[in-house]
Structure 1
Amino acid sequence: MTDTLNVPGGDVPGGDVPGGDVPAVDVPAVNVHGVSRIFAAGKGPGVTALDDVSLDVAPGEFVSLIGPSGCGKSTLLRLIADLDVPTSGSIEVFGKPARQARIDQDYGIAFQQAGLLPWRTVAGNIELPLELHGVGKAARRGRAAELIALVGLSDFAAHYPDQLSGGMQQRVAIARALAESPSLLLMDEPFGALDEMTRERMQNELVRICAETQAAVVFVTHSIPEAVFLSNRVVVLEPRPGRIRSIVGVGLGDMSGRGEDLREDEGFFRSLSEVRDLLHGDPDSSGTGLPTGVVPKTGARGVETR
């Protein structure tokens, strides 16, 4: 991937970010149609990571992908980002083929690995996408300082990546991905390496950014509470070959109304239970994700339920 983590059309305090036209509201931020991905094997038919997956993500919508390890969550995200190509089917981002959207830098990306530039400081890494878009020095420094404080690294702004722990490096990468309040953000378990307090703080900040910018987000996670707290919809995937088992609409209101107290809301627990039940369900059952008469189990291998 490139060093830049940016999308056109975002607003940055103190400076404008150049970019393409804002997509029309009736054009999905992401359209996945009939996508399959088969990885070739030395012998045999190969491994089917995804099988006939179709999904639309609306502008401003937050969609989480959740399922057992190996179900194709990260593969789907990589296909949307044009870091891999589907075996069959098509993907569009804001009405463009995924490859063109990547060339046009139409989205920001945050991965599990930080991918920081070793010759740049913490502040320098966070400022990078703003610098490449011509944002003034004062505005870059101000925005970087805000994000450094957010992720709890104010004492490390002048440090280099090799002077940071792995968790600290990931916090810098998350801050960099958030620098331009992107119109589409693709996130692959970006909070997984963070401690619980920082993780919840980053979830709250992401909710705020989405409310302010109407950014669309496709978010991969193993945490059921994280998926429910953040999302408008949670896409539950079956074990390999990855198919969509069900899509849960999370009726917790828009992003602007989501705060700490939401984690104690009855609707939050109801949606959490629904997603958990689907993750334990029989893929042959219809609608509920559970075979008739079977009581849900209390834990899921490979899925975080805290």
Structure 2
Amino acid sequence: MNDIKPAVEVRAVSRTFGGRKGASVTALESVDLSVAPGEFVSLIGPSGCGKSTLLRLIADLDTPTSGELSVFGKPARQARVDQDYGIAFQQAGLLPWKTVTGNIELPLALHGAGRSERRARVSELLELIGLTDFAGHYPDQLSGGMQQRVAIARALAESPKLLLMDEPFGALDEMTRERMQNELVRICAETQAAVVFVTHSIPEAVFLSDRVVVMSPRPGRITDVIDVSLGGPAERDDSLREDEAFFRGVAKVREALHGVPVAGARGVDTR
């Protein structure tokens, strides 16, 4: 009997926010989603469709109005207490008065890890993100892409089995963004963490994901789930971005998102 629990299980989840003068806004309505351990799933949809709200519910930063949600078979709150997931947002959110080392080791320090344990883990993570030579630098001495790598390392500090990422590369220029996508593919392959990734970029979603979840305008519902069959991490490098299979995947997600058939994958506006 297979007793492997999903990394994330969302069943009939809705979230309604109260408004002024008794008005209310339904951000999510009857959402069902299952993410397997080690799977990379992107959420994509128009602004205001509830992507970030869903991520916040998974992270126990908000509570659903109705429905059930679990992380590795646990209630979201218990998963947070057990540090089963790490979170990375669009802004790196590094503490400016702490060095790269200090920022990465912060979650470990907060949970009582000893100095030698913290330094060993930071050393491992700095090698993973390719910033060993910048351990003593401060955030304002780093590029935007380097800051995001530090934020990802901090999210990985306690070896979570799940990463929750809300447009972590949205503020980066296109070249840096593509390099960070390549880095994230490599990091996820090495850590085997499951990922739920919010993005507005169709090419980004296709490049990174095993599946792309397409959401409707508010109230947010899942309207389609696109399986992306582009191979494993070894195949997901810069050459993939010029591959016909990649363009077909982009076109398929674009059609699901906009409801407009795409005659040819190349030459279309995919952002």
Q: TM-score under structure 2 normalisation?
A: 0.86
1:259 and 2:259 aligned: no
1:56-109 Cα shifts (integer Å, max 9, x gaps) = 001111000000111100000000000000000010000001111111111111
Counterpart for residue 143 of structure 1 = 124
Shift of 1:259: 2.1
1:152-191 Cα shifts (integer Å, max 9, x gaps) = x94x543434666766544432332244553110000011
Counterpart for residue 189 of structure 1 = 167
Paired residues in the alignment total 263
1:204-249 Cα shifts (integer Å, max 9, x gaps) = 1221222233211000001111100100000000011101110000
Give the secondary structure class of the aligned counterpart of 1:83.
coil
Distance in 2 between residues matched to 1:108 and 1:233, nearest whole Å:
20
Shift of 1:123: 2.2
Counterpart for residue 43 of structure 2 = 65
Distance in 1 between residues matched to 2:73 and 2:235, nearest whole Å:
30
Deviates more, 1:167-176 or 1:193-202: 167-176
Counterpart for residue 272 of structure 1 = 250
Distance in 2 between residues matched to 1:210 and 1:172, nearest whole Å:
15
Give the secondary structure class of the aligned counterpart of 2:38.
coil
Quickly say closer, same or farther: Cα 1:139–1:125, change in 2 above 3 A: same
Deviates more, 1:247-256 or 1:268-277: 247-256
Distance in 2 between residues matched to 1:260 and 1:25, nearest whole Å:
37
Distance in 2 between residues matched to 1:71 and 1:157, nearest whole Å:
39
* 1:13-24 correspondence to structure 2 within 5 Å: none
Question: Which consecutive residues of structure 1, in runs of 5 or more, have no partner in the other structure?
Answer: 1-23, 282-289, 299-303
Quickly say closer, same or farther: Cα 1:174–1:195, change in 2 above 3 A: farther
Shift of 1:43: 2.1
* 1:1-306 correspondence to structure 2 within 5 Å: 26-130=4-108, 132=111, 133-134=113-114, 136=117, 139-146=120-127, 149-150=130-131, 154=133, 157-161=135-139, 169-179=147-157, 182-281=160-259, 290=260, 295=261, 305-306=270-271
Distance in 2 between residues matched to 1:222 and 1:123, nearest whole Å:
31
As a proportion of its length, which structure holds more helix?
A: 2
Quickly say closer, same or farther: Cα 1:257–1:165, change in 2 above 3 A: closer
> Amino acid of the residue matched to residue 68 of structure 1?
P
Identity across the alignment (%):
73
RMSD: 2.6
* 8 A contact 2:125–2:157 mirrored in 1: yes
* 8 A contact 2:29–2:219 mirrored in 1: yes
* 8 A contact 1:25–1:59 mirrored in 2: no
* 8 A contact 1:277–1:296 mirrored in 2: yes
1:129-155 Cα shifts (integer Å, max 9, x gaps) = 4555446365245235425635xx94x
> Amino acid of the residue matched to residue 85 of structure 1?
T
Distance in 1 between residues matched to 2:142 and 2:181, nearest whole Å:
22
